[in-house]
Structure formats: C-alpha cells, structure tokens
Structure 1
Amino acid sequence: MLAKTGCFSLELSNTQRIDGKMASGSEIDDVCEVFRNFNILNSKDKPPNKMTSKAWGKMVQDCLGKDTTIRQRMDSSVFPYVQDKTTKTLDLTDKAKVDKVLDKMAEVYKECKPKEEKDTPVAEVRQKLVKRILDKKNPEVHATKTSATGGVDRMTDTSKYTGAHKERFDDSGKGKGVTGREDRFEKSGYKISKTGNVSGLTDTSKYTGAHKERFDESGKGKGIDGREYRFEDKGYVTGYKGDGTKQ
C-alpha cells in the first residue's frame, strides 16, 4: 500500500490490505501469472491480461480437478461475480479483483465440500487453492501421438480386416479377385456362401416346408412343379400341398 506525502509516494510494505484482509502482493502476482498462462493458451484472440471464461474453465479443471459440481459452481458463481460486465473478462492487472476471486473461490469450494472442509476456515481453504494453482503453473497440453507406421496399419494389414473386407483376401494377404467380391451360383441352383454364416438360407438340404418342396434332393430347383398346384385329368390337385385333394 502506498502512502502519499505531498508529491511523494512511499511504499510501506510488500503486503496489500484488501477489504480488511492481508494478502501477499507477490502471491497475487504469481497467481496472476498462472492465470495469464492459461489465458494465452486458451484465448489467443484476447489480450493476455483479459482472462476469458474459456481460460477460466480450463484453469479450474487443471488446478482444482474434474469434479463436475466444483467446475459448474466455479463457472456459474465465481467468474460472473468478478468479470467485467462489458468485456466478460477478468482483468488480471486489477490485483484487488484477483484477490477477491481467490476469496470467492474458497467460499464456493467450501460449500461444495461440506464434509471435508466443514471445520476449515475459509482463509485456510483459500491457501490450499492458491497452492494448487501455483503448483500447476501452466495448463495441461495433451499432444496427439503420431503412429510410427503412419496410422494406417489397420487399413493396409489384411490380417486385421473383418467382415466382407476380410473375405476379399486370402491368408497370405493376396486379393481373391472376383471370387472375393461376388456371390456365385453353382449348377445345383443355390448360392454359395463365402463365409458359411448364411448356410441356412443357401443350403437347400436345410430348407423346410414350402421352400423345401421347390428343390429336389440334389438341390436343383423343380421349376413350376415346385411352386404351383396342377390339376390332372383325374380331378386331383398334385403338388407338395395338394396331393390327394379332390376338386
């Protein structure tokens, strides 16, 4: 705090009195520096000393943990309390406001942790939070790991293919050509399954009911004889369902 005598200013100490509380000037400076680091990384289009809500949210997550309740309360109850109503930012050059931020953070944190911090004074909770902030120093940056193979091994290694793609290559990785891409028909009249998973649909020996009657024992289709009722001269309906039925 500065005491003015005439045209001279005298710095009395390195401690500032704000709202009746004692706060270390160097501590506030250090906190502002951490806030600034978060702001530079997360709000590149804003001045470093104008901390945005986005940078604030990242700071809360990295410094105070990923507790959803705490993050939401810090976003809804703390930042709006100190932000500039016009710019929607926190002025990091205003140390009194930053000091107020720390007080408000401690109050909200204590409310969110009633069991753990029930008997802990707000001032002590504040010191815990300040320590976490100063220990973090910089925001966490998760770099994208580059694959040594270029990240396309699952596209080029045929042994990792599944489903229809797998059926297009043999065990050596060589393409099967048209046999790996199209369904083929044998003379028996039914479709050959590449995987065998649909044998119940393509193996005529497994057909039942009306479907079974459309094919002979070799698997060859009976044509119209297997599909329609026919009348003989004797007046009976022949066919798989109508045998012996008098008309």
Structure 2
Amino acid sequence: MKQAHVIDGKKITTTDTSIHFKKQFKTAKKINFDDFKKYIEDFAAAKKIEPKELEDKLINCGRPGLSSATKATHVGVVDRLTDTSKYTGSHKERFDSTGKGRGIEGRRDVKDTSGYTSSFKTKLGDKSEGSKSPSPVPPPK
C-alpha cells in the first residue's frame, strides 16, 4: 500500500492497516483475493474513503518494487577470509584442493567402527589372509 501511495502517514498509516487487518482476519497469515477485496471495502469504510479510490491506486501502482533488496558486496576482507588456499592448520583440512567443503570428514576424525569389538581390526565375516574369525571357546570336558 505504500507503493500505491495509499498510506500517506497522516490519514492512513501502516499501523491503521495492520490493526484493521488483525481485527478482520485475527490469526490469518495469508488471505485470498476475495478476502483482500472485502478488506479494502471495510478499510475504506472505516477511514471514510471511497473503495473505488483505493482500488484505483492499487491497480495503477504497477508491480511490487524491490527498492530495498540487498545486494552482495565484494570487499577485500570477505575475499581474504573466504580464500581457502590461505587456510592453515585444522581449517585447511576442511576443504579439498578445489576449495569445496569436505563435510564432516574435514571437521572430525571419523573412526572405523566396522569390527565387532574395538580391538578387532577387520570386518566381521572378512576372510582375507592374515585375519582370523573369532572361534568359539570349546566346551569344558
């Protein structure tokens, strides 16, 4: 409504529109077009304005503007802090040679817990040379 110059800061303020919206729709976050038209009629009646005048202003204002949209800025500090080739120590391990993050493996030492106990180093069922499967204890005689 600001873009359409409906809100002038004197007769109609953003507070007025907000209070009237909350009175009419209570907890609604979204409304459909029919509800919006009803809101415009009720709001115009409350402010003693012709609904047609409000509708004309809203129709003629054009598309929603993005005048306050933020844009990314490139500052020397940001470039320096995000250049992964200059990282040292444990931070250097967090990225591969292309600068792409390695995820959890770059931040923590991940243990291989594939054995059935912490001291057994090969996987259970692995019959490779040099590894022995645990054998059951023979029954007492």
More strand by share: 1
TM-score (norm 1): 0.24
More helix by share: 1
Q: Larger relative CO (CA 8 A, sep 6+): 1 or 2?
A: 2
